[in-house]
Amino acid sequence: MRKVLVLIVWLCCVGYAAGDYFVKFALERGEDLSPPKACANIADPNLKAPPAPNFPHEDWTLDSFDGLELHAEKFSPATASTNWAILIHGYGRDGTFAYDYADEYLKRGWNVLIPDLRAAGKSSGKFITMGALESRDVCAWAKKIVDANPDAKIVLHGVSMGAATALMTAAQEPSNLVAVVEDCGYTSAYEMFAAQLEKIFGLPEYPVMPCANWVCRFRTGVKISDAAPLDVVDKIKVPVLFIHGDADKLVPFEMCDRLFDACTSPKDKFIVAGAGHADCKSTNPTAYFDKVFKFLEVAQ
């Protein structure tokens, strides 16, 4: 019996160590406020943020439900408008990487809010939660917009983790939301990481992912598996545009189809041939924004 107990304790310790390694590697912000170390394996570390839009802007701040100080930039178009876009950046990035999307919205007369998600940019926080808690933060940003402008019509536009966050935010039915644009979002963070674990991190799915799931719960209050747009997309009531590149090697193309099929609100799909992960806009900017704004014109 004693040997069995020792073996169980040993397995638990090994499991915790494996899960803790993954959580720190993939989700923990660096002491120097750098992205998690795994970002170098997933996103191009040499990619620079585009120039800031040449429109009036101001800094906004917000205290999250769990005591983090969150930061966002608010840009104003040349003419006053009730149209608002919340642009949600992806994994390992910050709001500055949405500047080129913002520029297009601003030129078309939209107000733009670009949050730094928790544990990114100027926002505080130690761990990324792949959309599980970020979606609650975006709901708070939407409320702040409505408090300042009760007639606001809000669109969520997110890329990658930002797209997953947008879907989970929309499922919580924030006030004045009129549409969602999701670009290359995953069905669940757990499924996405599990599919890429050996390829990107050199680790087996078992026992790493089950252990990481519970270590994440211990460290952040939510599990990796809680970041699961597929579980809530059927709760969205506003129109959703699903965008994906058919050459996406990080978030499998079939995830787009599964999200689309599960969505019960008005919806449309835009597939960009030859586009890799988060490359749909850069592959064909004209076609991309034509599709987005035609969709939003109908959705509103």
Q: Is residue 98 part of a domain?
A: yes
Q: pLDDT at position 225, please?
A: 97
- Range of 123's domain? 51-188+224-299
Q: Is residue 68 part of a domain?
A: yes
Average pLDDT of every residue of the chain: 92
pLDDT at 300: 75
Whether 9 is covered by a domain: the verdict is: no
Closest among 61, 192, 201 to 137, alpha carbons compared: 61
- Residues 233-285: tens digit of each pLDDT: 999 999 999 999 999 999 999 999 999 999 999 999 999 999 999 999 999 99
Per-residue pLDDT at 125 exceeds 80: yes
Overall average pLDDT of the 171-177 stretch: 97
pLDDT (average), residues 15-37? 87
On the question of pLDDT at 10 being above 70, the answer is no
6 pLDDT higher than 70: no
Inside any domain, residue 195? no
pLDDT score of 7 = 40
Cβ(242)–Cβ(179) under 8 Å? Answer: no
Global pTM reads 0.94
Return the number of other C-beta atoms located less than 10 Å from residue 66's C-beta: 12
Classify residue 273: in a domain, yes or no: yes
Largest CA distance in the chain: 76
Task: Evaluate whether residue 30 is within a structural domain.
Answer: no
Number of domains in the chain: 1
Q: pLDDT-based confidence at 195, cuts 50/70/90?
A: confident
Residue 176 in any domain: the answer is yes
- What digits encode the pLDDT tens for the residues 88-100? 999 999 999 999 9
The domain that holds 250 is classified in CATH as 3.40.50.1820
Sign of CA pseudo-dihedral 232, 278, 179, 62: positive
Q: What are phi and psi of 269, to 5 degrees?
A: -135, 140
**pLDDT for res 2:** 56
Residue 137 lies in a domain: yes
**pLDDT over threshold 70, residue 1:** no
Integer-rounded Cα Rg, in Å, for the chain is 19
Q: What percent of the chain lies above the pLDDT cut of 90?
A: 80
Q: What is the pLDDT of residue 208?
A: 84
**Nearest C-alpha neighbor of 149 from the set 102, 73, 58, 84:** 84
pLDDT score of 288: 98
> What is the DSSP-derived secondary structure letter of residue 35?
P
